[in-house]
């Protein structure tokens, strides 16, 4: 991501253009009272960038699958939504909330990765004529898991909560980087190698220097490993090189200072890797690793008991072949 990283000693041409773009964009962006933003579940974290904060919870009928963050980015000509929640009902609520803050058409629906709590709301935006954007490996990942994702969602949400939910495949793929223009506002999307999953995508908003990381960034909610712990730990220092004013996590608060936001996640993953490697070296079993690895981090994360064992299992399976 070095193309977006630059020195603060003197403004670069790119920084100058960012400032000019923001100045030109500000008069055209929606301005709503903070109280109204809270009421509709979207909070403005930078000019024209609104975040919906999902619950720290497992998917169930009460939360309708609303357990991950979603973001709306509004330009002078159109808008983009980043992730859509874990059901059609959540996607529809987001669509209705967006309509209250802007009359700009939603041109892009961007999915940061394959997990159902981020993509199963896509169907609510299908009739709007938007393009669905994702990592070039996203179609294969979704196709391989579609049946299980939908079956699990139906079981957890119930028939009424599941109604309308389906898999919507991306129509525009990101192989390396892709720039999207919302009108006076440029977004750069970048496809990453296997880390949290094998189809992680980040978004950088140039006018406000806002970095959207999807589930490459967890805060409060324990990270979940569905890709490569080696790849994730290798990627984190590269992500930290990005010069951003703020970061938006896939699970966590509406925005965070960057790069400090990712340090607890890095510590957790390093702890898991260290513990698992030591146990493999000692000839310990996977069962023992699941019961003991990473326990020093237990007090630092919500949903630790629900996810740590699966993280250890994934790490053990990968690291035993080193």
- Answer yes or no: is 222 within a domain: yes
- Answer yes or no: is 243 within a domain: yes
Structure tokens at 36: 């109204």
- Answer yes or no: is 70 within a domain: yes
Residues 6+ apart with CB under 8 A from 157: 59, 60, 61, 64, 65, 87, 165
Residues 6+ apart with CB under 8 A from 231: 193, 194, 195
Neighbours of 5 (CB within 10 A): 13
**Tens-place pLDDT, residues 24-70:** 555 555 443 333 333 448 999 999 999 999 999 999 999 999 999 99
Q: Which of 40-54, 260-274, 301-315 shows the lowest per-residue confidence on average (mean pLDDT)?
A: 40-54
Domain that holds residue 188: 2-259
Of the chain, the percentage scoring pLDDT greater than 90 comes to: 87
**Tens-place pLDDT, residues 116-132:** 999 999 999 999 999 99
Task: With beta carbons less than 8 A apart as the criterion, state whether 29 and 48 touch.
Answer: yes
Helix axes of 229-240 and 304-319: crossing angle, nearest 10 degrees? 100
- Answer yes or no: is 148 within a domain: yes
Q: How many domains does the chain have?
A: 1
CATH number at residue 126: 3.60.15.10
Q: What is the pLDDT of residue 41?
A: 84
What is this structure's pTM?
0.89
| pLDDT at 19 > cutoff 80 | no
- Answer yes or no: is 252 within a domain: yes
| pLDDT at 296 > cutoff 60 | yes
């Amino acid at each position: 991501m070095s193309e977006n990283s630059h020195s603060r000693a003197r403004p670069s041409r790119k920084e100058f253009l960012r400032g000019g773009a923001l100045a030109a964009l500000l008069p055209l962006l929606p301005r709503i009272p903070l109280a109204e933003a809270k009421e509709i579940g979207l909070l403005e974290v930078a000019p024209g960038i609104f975040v919906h904060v999902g619950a720290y919870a497992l998917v169930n009928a009460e939360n309708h699958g609303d357990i991950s963050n979603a973001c709306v980015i509004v330009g002078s000509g159109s808008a983009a939504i980043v992730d859509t929640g874990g059901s059609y009902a959540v996607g529809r609520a987001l669509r209705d909330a967006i309509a209250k803050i802007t009359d700009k058409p939603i041109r892009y629906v961007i999915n940061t990765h394959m997990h159902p709590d981020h993509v199963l709301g896509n169907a609510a935006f299908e009739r709007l004529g938007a393009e669905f954007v994702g990592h070039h490996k996203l179609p294969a990942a979704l196709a391989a898991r579609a049946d299980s994702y939908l079956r699990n969602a139906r079981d957890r949400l119930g028939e009424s909560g599941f109604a309308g939910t389906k898999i919507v495949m991306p129509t525009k793929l990101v192989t390396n980087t892709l720039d999207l223009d919302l009108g006076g506002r440029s977004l750069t999307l970048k496809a990453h190698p296997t880390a949290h999953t094998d189809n992680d995508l980040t978004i950088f908003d140039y006018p406000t220097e806002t970095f959207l990381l999807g589930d490459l960034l967890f805060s409060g909610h324990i990270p979940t490993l569905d890709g490569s712990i080696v790849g994730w730990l290798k990627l984190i220092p590269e992500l930290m090189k990005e010069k951003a004013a703020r970061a938006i996590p896939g699970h966590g608060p509406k925005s965070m200072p960057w790069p400090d936001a990712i340090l607890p996640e890095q510590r957790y993953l390093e702890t898991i890797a260290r513990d698992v490697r030591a146990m493999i070296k000692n000839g310990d079993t996977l069962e023992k690793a699941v019961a003991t690895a990473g326990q020093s981090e237990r007090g630092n994360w919500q949903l630790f008991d629900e996810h740590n064992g699966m993280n250890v299992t994934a790490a053990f399976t990968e690291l035993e072949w080193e």
